[in-house]
Amino acid sequence: MRRAVWHGGWWQHARRHPSPNFGARPSGEQVTLAVLHSISLPPGQYGGAAVIDLFTNRLDHNAHPYFERLRGLLVSAHFYVRRSGAVLQFVSCEERAWHAGISSWAGREQCNDFSIGIELEGLEGDTFEAAQYAALARLLRSLGRRYPIDVVVGHEHIAPDRKGDPGAGFDWTHLRRRLHWPASATAPICVPRAMRGSPNEVRYG
């Protein structure tokens, strides 16, 4: 018997690190947006546990001078893609993660309400690894089958006055080619209608 890919909004291919930083989506709200971010802690240093600790409220703020500015910050994302391509999940996709902040897209504010947040281990404006693009494409394909996502954007697109990630080093054209999606604007990427999940797929499975 084939194993289900999704269990209550958790993806079977991701390592779970449940975060307390989440809330309920508004009643009846569908997930129609995927938002890409970049993060590394300390900035430019990769492979440690600091991002996991930040999203699970276990960060030792005395471990590095940069961490002091994060004291009291309660944030999370649904997914975190390591430089190696490993995917971690912190919040069920059925819930509202705290990743977008003050934001708007297509005339709608509060993007957390209707989006999935995906953090890429990296430095804003710098490049990303082939393994990350491969893992991200696999995740986005699965999300597109599960939820009626219309478009994939960067944090820079939904909060342009505040944020610049993932930045100029992120190759949107390469991601689209990895996904084998037809050509559209390189950023953001419109999800082909045939790849969008139905409302029934959101409720069940």
In the chain, the domains with their CATH numbers are 6-203 (3.40.80.10)
Residues 6 or more apart whose CB falls under 8 angstroms from that of 143 comprise 34, 93, 116, 149
Q: Report, as an integer, the average pLDDT of 4-9.
A: 94
CA 193 to chain centroid, in Å, comes to 21
Q: How far apart are CA 139 and CA 118, in angstroms?
A: 10
Reported as a single tens digit per residue, the pLDDT across 113-156 is 999 999 999 999 999 999 999 999 999 999 999 999 999 999 99
146 neighbors 138 (Cβ within 8 angstroms): no
Average pLDDT, the chain: 93
Q: How far is CA 144 from CA 75, 131, 140, 165, 183, in A?
A: 24, 20, 6, 22, 17
Res 203 pLDDT > 50 = no
Average confidence (pLDDT) over 46-70: 97
What is the spatial distance between Cα 134 and Cα 136, in angstroms, rounded to a whole number?
5
Weakest mean pLDDT among 68-72, 141-145, 192-196:
192-196
Contacts of 93 (CB under 8 A, 6+ apart): 6, 9, 10, 11, 31, 78, 116, 143, 146, 147
Q: What pLDDT, on the 0 to 100 scale, is given for residue 1?
A: 43
Q: Percentage of residues in the chain with pLDDT exceeding 70?
A: 93
- Whether the per-residue pLDDT at 105 is higher than 70: the answer is yes
Structure tokens at 198: 């139905």
What average pLDDT does range 85-97 have in this prediction?
A: 98
- Report the catalytic residues: 119
